[in-house]
Amino acid sequence: MKRLWAPWRMSYLRGEAEPVGRCVFCRKIEAVDAAEHVLYRGPHCFVVLNRYPYSNGHLLVVPYSHVGALAQLADEVLLDLIQTVCAAQSVLRKASGPQGFNVGINEGHAAGAGIEAHIHVHIVPRWEGDANYLTVIGETRVIPQMLDQTYALLRPLFDALRDE
């Protein structure tokens, strides 16, 4: 019998809320990078592992600005946001060779935004055959690596970006 371990998801499955107070993304702005899985900090945005990933290496690119819509971001922030998305895709290609990406923004509750007040971009690496019957029938995703392991794999590649 094979086992599927994902203990870090239990608080999410129980519906436990994030601590009350500042936005989860705003708290990460001043947090210790490794503790919060922050991979990269640019001039206007940062990259963090998604705590509840759709697939291994699911990243979020988050502007420092606490706004809920793209239209509320300054032009230089929008440019940095997209450039950081491209850099993050490059890192993921080097680290794990995905065959494609889902890149998206859920703006507003009706669009599926889990954190409406702070806009962010999802980068989901994809491989042929990565979504199978378990996802469709069992409503379960298999994530083959713990977040700390993914962080350890990706952080040096993001550090190299900073050095370029």
Could you tell me where the beta strands, DSSP code E, fall in 17-136?
A: 38-41, 45-49, 59-63, 100-104, 121-126
* 120 labelled catalytic: yes
CA distances from 139 to 8, 112, 142, 160 (A): 17, 17, 10, 37
Task: Give CA–CA dist 7/63, Å, rounded.
Answer: 29
Q: Which position among 44, 58, 118, 120 bears the catalytic label?
A: 120
- In angstroms, rounded to a whole number, what is the distance separating the alpha carbons of residues 107 and 158? 27
Query: Angle, to 10 degrees, between the axis of helix 147-163 and the axis of helix 75-96?
Result: 120
What distance in Å separates the CA atoms of residue 44 and residue 65, rounded to the nearest whole number? 8
What span, in angstroms and rounded, lies between the C-alpha atoms of 39 and 41?
7
The residues annotated as belonging to the active site are: 120
